[in-house]
A and B are shown apart, each in its own frame.
Chain A
Amino acid sequence: MKSPRCILISGIIIFLALADGYAQIKFDGGLESGYYKSVGPGVVLQNGFFTGLDGMAGYDYKGENRSASARLRARPELYGFNNRLTTLKLRGDVYYRQNTNTVDWGVGLTGQKYNFNSSGLYLTYKMFSLSGSMDFYFIKYMPAEINFGYAGQFIRTPAGQSLRLYYAEGKLYKSLSNNSRLGFGLYAERFNVKGSPPGYNLYAGKENNGWRSGPEIGFNYLGESVLNLDYRFLIHSSALTNYPSIEHWIRLVAGKLLTSRLSVFLLADFYIRNFKYNADADKFSYLLYTAMNFDNRIYAKLGYELSGRVEVYLRSGYFNENLLGSKFNFEGWNALIGIDVSN
């Protein structure tokens, strides 16, 4: 054995395989192609052919009252042939979850990397998160949930930025029926951003510390169709903003099985921030809070299941990826046809 890590991994796999449950190796692969067009004042202004591959391999374990999974995922994308833009997204995660009568809890670790490469522009994002989750069933018909964690994001562009944060979230759910529920809670996050202008040491510059906190509400339905609606309102306070600086985030997920094989889905994310910047904000724009998950997008998908394992689909939508600060983004729309195969 070349490395003790191999022994550890083999041991874990053997333990899980022999434990009182069963395990399953999972594979998922997809290919999609189509047309894209970038718009707005983004960093890349072009249009043309798009193609992307998506591959996932995972290991799922399920025992009497516990479950675990490990997954690796890669997604290379190619935008255009001339002046081409390539992206590579990588993700690995492991989760463990334990269920009891009154409390379910879980822990997870994820790592992600995102390369964004075009002529004259090279960006790398690295992200990790260590998270915990607990679901409580003490109150009859009103389960509660607590999420907490520590996460980091490191952006390397001509400029650089590192973002580290701690978060905690408490939620209560009220079942409206067997198929629907209402959730409401509070979210709080403490963050620290370090950065540097191009050519300077990442950690030599000024820091931006701050808080994001506020209420959230969500409605979910899953029955004949699926409908998830979430809204989060956050007050943002930091070294570069004045009060009141606020953030709104709205998510809509809807879907329906039109027939046993044909399905349609819609995802809409709206992130709106209304910041009152102070005098330092322009000078230290590389210190502005920019988490990768703040993308505006609307996507629709029409899928047709050829068999239990193969699906073909049409997917089209608008995307606006906020890459760094408030003015550095990749915006456009695409229309794709794809195929997905899974075991």
Chain B
Amino acid sequence: MIKYKKLICISFFILCFSIFVKAQNIAGVEANLSSLKNNLMRNSARLDSLKAVLDIRAKRINDEKKKPDPDKSLIVSLMSGSANLANEIESTQNTIALLEKNIEYAKEELNKIYSSKIDSLSALEKSGAYKGNKEELKSLILFYTEKKLLVTPKIALLSFHPDKILGIDLKKASSPEERKLYEEYIKSALSEVNDRLNNLSESLDETARIISLEKKTNKFLEETEFDYDITPRSTSQQLQPANANQYGSVITEDASKVRASYEQNASEYGMLLSQLNFKPVDPKIKWIDPGKGKNSIGNLSEYNELLKEVKKRLLEYKLILTHKLNSVK
């Protein structure tokens, strides 16, 4: 018994320590990301001005060449300066590429840290063990969810930009007009999320009905005839494990048309899931990650699980948008 208590104490200590380390880590990685972004902005501005100077020089060289009596020494001097400029531009472009790469790494790291934070806070909320202000806890989850969306890889499936919307703070609008404009933008995003949720709910109802119908049909056949067959008897009794039914197997299991149709939809929902990737996706959920192109959907049940997960995440996003709109009322 004492051994167990010791084990619990050590585990608790490790947990506290890891939370402390992570808290330090967030600030460090965020500062690093901010520094990288500033550096990128500076270098982008420098690149723009270098390109502008190069354009001016190129124009001057062309103008000089067009003259009836061009000044060759000026042209040589301008061209020599342009070669240096071109080298500088190339060097700046390399620096920008490196910075962008490092920014992606930092975002990836933050993505993981925020996911872990959201998970632990959500677990705390669900467990009911948290004795403090529960609204504050919810706000904290929303806070990290917003941060997470800002570092989530972007895929243009939703017409609006989640990161821009999450960056909007209606309280900080400089004028009533600006606030009104932002409000409209958020409302339009909310409306799109609602539309997607409605479509998703319809698809979910349909797949759930087909799965249920298929399961009940198989069950009915099993209990009525006890699977007597020693030879194949019908299209509804083909050889396959009970859990291997493809796309509503009783009948449409191997219809490639249906297969293609579900894969197309699954691919789209995979992109949406990637966009709403606040927290790690349960490994049991099969989805087509647009970045990795694997974990493809194998049957209707898996497709149904994917839809459920996307719906859950859209609801979370909707909550954030609603929260934003209500924050100024």
Residues of A bordering B, CB below 8 Å: 22, 24, 26, 30, 54, 58, 60-62, 64-65, 67-69, 71, 73, 75, 89, 91, 93, 95-97, 99, 104, 106-108, 110, 112, 127-129, 131-133, 135, 137, 140-143, 145, 147, 149, 151-153, 165, 167, 169, 171, 173, 175, 178-181, 183, 187, 189, 218, 220-226, 228, 230, 249, 251, 253, 255-257, 263, 265, 267, 269, 291-293, 295, 297, 299, 301, 303, 315, 317, 340
Contacts and interface: CB of A to CB of B under 8 A. Distances in A.
A69 B241 contact: yes
Interface string B225-261: 1111111111110111111101010111111111101
Given A226-B214, A265-B220, A181 B251 contact: yes
Contacts of B259: 137
B120 to A, nearest CB: 24
Contacts of B244: 62, 67, 69, 95, 97, 99, 106
B216 A255 contact: yes
A133 B212 CA distance: 25
Contacts of B284: 22
A167 B231 contact: yes
Provide the main secondary structure of the chain A interface.
strand
Interface string B246-283: 10101111111111010000000000000000000000
Nearest to A150: B230
A228 B235 contact: yes
Interface string B282-300: 0010000000000100100
Contacts of A91: 226-227
Interface residues of B, number: 47
**The 4 residue pairs across chains A and B that have the minimum distance between CB atoms:** A220-B251, A69-B241, A133-B239, A151-B230
Given A251-B233, A257-B212, A89 B239 contact: no
Given A255-B213, A257-B209, A293-B230, A173 B254 contact: yes
Given A145-B254, A222-B252, A226-B250, A293 B233 contact: yes
B323 interface: no
A303 B238 contact: no
B243 A75 contact: no
Nearest to B244: A67
Interface in B188-222: 209-210, 212-214, 216-217, 219-221
B137 to A, nearest CB: 31
A64 B295 CA distance: 7
B223 A340 contact: yes
Contact of B240 (A97, A178, A249, A269): A97
Contacts of A30: 223
B225 to A, nearest CB: 7
B224 interface: yes
B234 A230 contact: yes
B232 A167 contact: yes
Contact of A222 (B213, B231, B256): B213
Chain B at the A interface: SS class: loop
25 contacts: A64-B295, A95-B240, A97-B244, A106-B244, A128-B230, A137-B254, A137-B256, A140-B256, A152-B230, A165-B231, A169-B232, A178-B258, A181-B255, A218-B235, A220-B250, A220-B251, A220-B252, A222-B213, A226-B213, A263-B213, A267-B224, A293-B228, A297-B224, A297-B225, A303-B220
Contacts of B214: 222, 226
Contacts of A143: 254-256
Contacts of A153: 230
B235 A220 contact: yes
B203 to A, nearest CB: 12
B78 to A, nearest CB: 59
Contacts of B223: 30, 54, 315, 340
A282 B169 CA distance: 93
B250 A222 contact: yes
Contacts of A147: 232, 238-239
Given A222-B210, A257-B213, 18 more contacts: A64-B298, A65-B298, A71-B242, A95-B244, A104-B246, A132-B239, A137-B254, A141-B257, A151-B231, A171-B235, A175-B257, A178-B258, A220-B252, A222-B213, A226-B217, A230-B236, A251-B233, A303-B216
A35 B46 CA distance: 90
Contacts of B258: 175, 178
A12 to B, nearest CB: 14
A75 B225 CA distance: 11
A185 B224 CA distance: 26
